[in-house]
Amino acid sequence: MTLIEALILAVVEGLTEFLPVSSTGHMIIASTFMGIASDEFTKLFTVAIQFGAILSVVVLYFKKFLQGFSFYFKLGVAFIPTVILGLLLKDSVDSLLENVMVVAIALLIGGIILLFVDKWFAKNETEGTEEVSLKTGVIIGTIQALAMIPGVSRSAATIIGGLTQKLTRKAAAEFSFFLAVPTMFAATLKSMWDSKELLSKSSNDELMLLIVGNVAAFVVAYLAIKTFIGFLNQTRLQNFWILPHCFRYYSFDSYPQRI
């Protein structure tokens, strides 16, 4: 992996992690375009740079993370379904990570759903709530487990999960950000632990790429979250269908030999 390739993947991660499009799916497609998708270090890199992205949430919502036990209890309970299903289905999920066809289909389905989300939950903006109950947290956390399928957006799944529980779009998006912290932190630690042998054999240049990737992902994710929250107040979620469909088009038509 070159520095340019690392920066491209970091930018893709930062831009897509907290938007209702799949960051994993887009990084798989991006790495496939660059011909490095099957490289073991690339697989480690795409998970490890999530750490930089989650730090942006902690920095942006620093005061939230200084709240009491109730806040962390909700996050912990919401996180449990993903842990259980992640451990049970790890091998099946890992087998899909290099399958661009699965990613493309998931992006297509996700894009279609986004076209109708605003219509389905239009009342939430006038009759919805900002308060996330424990029950709501559990439901959102369970729905988040769908994002283990490459191409399914974790952010979209949790935001839509929040909307089904009558949260406003902003409240659903912010809880999605908060839930990302334990989810992505655990995924990063698990990946690093599983790849400890690979890390021990990594060159100084590769370790530097991990550092640069995390810094780039942090900066881009920070800007993306601030923009997204402002965007939610001015437009509709259905506008995000464009990005998944663009990648679907190129993944099928421009690089059919890689699918």
Bridge partners (DSSP) of residue 45 are none
Taking the domains of the chain in order of start, what are their residue ranges? 3-258
Q: Any residues with CB less than 8 A from the CB of 96 and at least 6 apart, and which?
A: 102, 149, 150
**pLDDT tens digits, 44-68:** 888 889 899 989 989 988 888 887 7
Residue 7 DSSP SS3: helix
The DSSP symbol for 129 reads B
What pLDDT tens digit does each residue of the chain (259 aa) get?
Answer: 899 999 999 999 998 887 777 777 778 888 888 988 878 888 888 888 989 998 998 998 888 888 778 888 988 999 988 888 877 776 676 666 666 677 777 777 877 887 777 778 878 776 777 788 888 988 999 888 887 777 787 888 888 888 988 888 888 888 888 898 888 888 788 878 888 888 888 888 888 999 999 999 999 999 988 887 776 655 555 555 444 444 443 333 333 333 3
Structure tokens at 237: 């979620």
Q: Any residues with CB less than 8 A from the CB of 143 and at least 6 apart, and which?
A: 157, 158, 160, 161, 164
Integer Cα distance of 9 and 5 in angstroms: 6
Integer Cα distance of 55 and 153 in angstroms: 19
